[in-house]
Structure 1
Amino acid sequence: MVVLPLLGQLADEYGRKLLLLITISTSMFPFAVLAYNQSRDAVYVYYVLRTISFILSQGSIFCIAVAYAADIIKEENRAAAFSWITGFFSASHVIGNLLARFLPEKYIFVVSIALLIFGSVYMYFFLAETVEPVEKRERDSTFLTNIINFTRKRYESMRYAAVLVFRSPTLKVISLVSFFYELGMSGISSVLLYYLKAVFGFNKNQYSEILSVVGVGAIFSQILVLPLLNPFVGEGVILCLALLASIAYGLLYGLAWASWVPYMSAAFGAIYILVKPATYAVISKGSSSVNQVCKTSSLT
């Protein structure tokens, strides 16, 4: 959580493209270890590198991508744009589940690395920078002075992000909503697969089916439904409906009385997935271009 506002400020100072390249590139190394060797020692190395990768990239990639979109898209079109971004994100999950199910195990990590490299190379050559990096003015300073100045600037940037949130009634409310939503959904996601296996004896194929149901529904709702509804009802109404769907999602899983109920509950995933694009649209409307990453990362 501390890293996100820090990376957000760095994105404003050094550019969105550079930070996207750095955060995405860190995701390659853990999978490269498993692609090379799948021994027990390699698995431990994977978890260490994966932890470091998550610290740098988990959440920050999406925040910077949303800020990049806000730089080039008009305010009235941002909700639809954010929905398309999350829709393609869901599409990648569906394709990833299908690949994991049908690809031989020895090729899964190799394909993952190839896709990560392709994404980084594509961004390097075709992604245009939208923020002019800040010029360095402390080249003649000592190493210790640079460390002190860097620490001071990072503290000020994080303090600035916190002040922006707490001074805005809208952002204070949306921060509480985001906190409790992520708290509940992360709890469900952490135990769901174990729960389904223990109670109904689900196997990996049934897990893949449920995840695919959620993913396909999420693609449809984010790419088609939200852009069509938003001009008429606004992102606030969509956010409320999505939160209600998340409550139904959790209740049906918790009260499931037959093996078909989890599939019905998964259908609500097509609606609750709209929480994030609607939240990003609310935040973006109350933010200037400079503060896009700062505010989004503070609430993520």
Structure 2
Amino acid sequence: MGWESGRELRPLIHLMLPLCVHWIAEEMTVSVLVDVTTRALCPGESTCSEAIYINGLQQTIVGIFKMVVLPVLGQLADEYGRKPLLLLTLSTTIFPFTLLAINESKEFVYAYYVVRTISNILSQGSIFCISVAYAADVVVESKRAAAFSWITGLFSASHVLGNVLARFLPEKYIFEVSIALLILCPVYMKLFLTETVKPTPKQDHHSSCINKTFKVVHNRYNSLRYAATIVINSSMLKNVSLVLFFYELGMSGINSVLLYYLKSAFGFNKNQFSEILMMVGIGSIVSQMVVLPLLNPLVGEKVILSTALLASIAYALLYGLAWASWVPYLSASFGVIYVLVKPSTYAIISKASSSTDQGKAQGFIAGVQSIASLLSPLAMSPLTSWFLSSNAPFNCKGFSIICASLCMVVALCCAWMLKPKTPSNSDIEENAENIEAPLLS
């Protein structure tokens, strides 16, 4: 299995190598950002409500715009190629960290949040969606689950390496090193990545600016409607959308407040954040690169998905009920299993979509997830801040995380209703004329 998977993944080398470096560069800043933002916005305090609220606001704004941007980027990747879209999304992440490398004052932290919000609108989720579509172009259907698990496993491996760097590299050098690695990624991809999609030829070169603008808006509407038709007319894609919506509703809310919760409740710092993230990452590498490719042919994506969702429920409950500083480490261990949610759903979506609609389906469902990511901080930010304060109605600092676990329970119920089958595109062929119209012309 390992040798066969290795051969199947050879065409992905020039995709996965720069992605790995990119994720390392981003991850090495995560544990440091909590201290940097807390120090700038709430000097001398361990709890910073302002940082929690700004993170929640940022996530909400990103979610609002991603609802439109992700499906659009997915369709652009189908029409104009994966490579230019990857170059665009990877490049946007360079600028926010440049601001913090220059200065970590309150003003620069605010500027960082603004630029990072714009960057996340373009890059958060879209890099994964376009990468998965690229993998679907070059890997046969029977091997795609293994390919997707290797991509997400590489994501975990990158997190481990990023946290190792964050753990041992002096804080004053972290942003500089991160920026250098982030610049390297698009340069490498520009030089070595091979395009898998033949771009749609441009038309109407002599049209007026007004006509071109109208046509762009009209085609965008048609493309989004067609992507929605693909999902709505497929019971499999529709149920997967519900699973990912409720999973993202809970998990994105947890991720937006988790490190601030640990810092306030248990006094965790950069080193302890890095230790927890490294522990999860190491286990996730094995589960995604070894366990999932071995188990998937035996039990199928549905069983793996359901098991991963059960683990996410345990993960959230243990964090929310943590009664000692060692409990978060135990809770984090369930991350080794719940990380399988993403590769298993990528495989289900890919099987339920035609070869010409990979980007559209992945992008539209990612847009559905973005709705969840914009809704979750509306509840999680004030709830977390309230229960971390001295005005909490009862002593349970992780109450908001317990509430988030209920969303994963709903996702699990939806996953049980999935009925994997061979995709049939007969229901959407009548809308095929929408494919012919490029998004930009």
Which interval holds the TM-score relative to the shorter structure? over 0.9
Aligned counterpart, 1:59: 125
* Counterparts of 1:205 and 1:32, CA distance in 2: 23
- State the Cα distance separating 1:255 from its structure 2 match: 2.1
Instruction: Indicate yes or no: 2:180 matched with 1:133.
Output: no
Aligned counterpart, 2:417: none
Aligned counterpart, 1:245: 311
Change (3 A) 1:109 1:195: closer
* Counterparts of 1:24 and 1:195, CA distance in 2: 30
Q: 34, 40, 48: which is aligned to 2:100? A: 34
- Kindly provide the CA deviation profile for residues 123-152 of structure 1, in whole angstroms up to 9, marking residues without a partner as x: 111110000000101110011111100111
Change (3 A) 1:296 1:226: same
Q: 88, 101, 107: which is aligned to 2:154? A: 88
Instruction: Indicate yes or no: 2:206 matched with 1:170.
Output: no
State the one-letter code of the partner of 1:273: V
State the one-letter code of the partner of 2:350: S
Greater shift in the superposed pair: 274-283 or 228-237: 228-237
* Counterparts of 1:197 and 1:30, CA distance in 2: 24
* Counterparts of 1:218 and 1:89, CA distance in 2: 9
State the one-letter code of the partner of 2:360: C
* Counterparts of 2:70 and 2:106, CA distance in 1: 32
Give the 3-state SS of the residue equivalent to 2:355 in structure 1.
coil
* Counterparts of 1:58 and 1:233, CA distance in 2: 31
Q: 340, 350, 356: which is aligned to 1:290? A: 356
Aligned counterpart, 2:383: none
- Kindly provide the CA deviation profile for residues 83-132 of structure 1, in whole angstroms up to 9, marking residues without a partner as x: 00011111111111121222222321221111112111111111100000
Aligned counterpart, 1:214: 280
Give the 3-state SS of the residue equivalent to 1:134 in structure 2.
coil
Greater shift in the superposed pair: 277-286 or 34-43: 34-43
* TM-score relative to the length of structure 2: 0.66
* Counterparts of 1:49 and 1:193, CA distance in 2: 21
Counting only pairs closer than 5 Å after superposition, residues 61-80 of structure 1 correspond to structure 2 as 61-80=127-146
- State the Cα distance separating 1:4 from its structure 2 match: 0.3
* Counterparts of 1:132 and 1:252, CA distance in 2: 49
* Counterparts of 1:3 and 1:26, CA distance in 2: 14
* Counterparts of 2:280 and 2:312, CA distance in 1: 12
Aligned counterpart, 1:201: 267
Q: 197, 208, 212: which is aligned to 1:146? A: 212
Instruction: Indicate yes or no: 2:290 matched with 1:189.
Output: no
Aligned counterpart, 2:84: 18
- Kindly provide the CA deviation profile for residues 261-283 of structure 1, in whole angstroms up to 9, marking residues without a partner as x: 22111111000000000000000
* Counterparts of 1:139 and 1:44, CA distance in 2: 42
* Counterparts of 2:274 and 2:170, CA distance in 1: 16
- State the Cα distance separating 1:45 from its structure 2 match: 2.5
- State the Cα distance separating 1:203 from its structure 2 match: 2.7
Greater shift in the superposed pair: 151-160 or 44-53: 44-53
Q: 111, 115, 120: which is aligned to 1:49? A: 115
Unmatched 5+ stretches in structure 1 = none
- State the Cα distance separating 1:202 from its structure 2 match: 2.5
Q: 315, 335, 341: which is aligned to 1:275? A: 341
Aligned counterpart, 2:380: none
* Counterparts of 1:283 and 1:245, CA distance in 2: 21
- State the Cα distance separating 1:40 from its structure 2 match: 3.5
Aligned counterpart, 1:230: 296
Give the 3-state SS of the residue equivalent to 1:290 in structure 2.
helix
* TM-score relative to the length of structure 1: 0.96
Aligned counterpart, 2:331: 265
- State the Cα distance separating 1:39 from its structure 2 match: 3.7
* Counterparts of 2:274 and 2:161, CA distance in 1: 11
- State the Cα distance separating 1:176 from its structure 2 match: 0.4
State the one-letter code of the partner of 2:223: S
Query: Given that residues 75 and 363 in structure 2 are in contact (C-alpha distance below 8 angstroms), is that contact kept between their aligned partners in structure 1?
Result: no
Amino-acid identity (%): 68
State the one-letter code of the partner of 1:231: P
- The number of residues matched between the two structures is 300
- State the Cα distance separating 1:259 from its structure 2 match: 2.3
RMSD over equivalenced CA pairs, Å: 1.3
- Kindly provide the CA deviation profile for residues 177-227 of structure 1, in whole angstroms up to 9, marking residues without a partner as x: 000001111122222223323333333322221111111111111111101
Give the 3-state SS of the residue equivalent to 1:157 in structure 2.
helix
Unmatched 5+ stretches in structure 2 = 1-66, 367-441
State the one-letter code of the partner of 1:260: W
State the one-letter code of the partner of 2:148: F
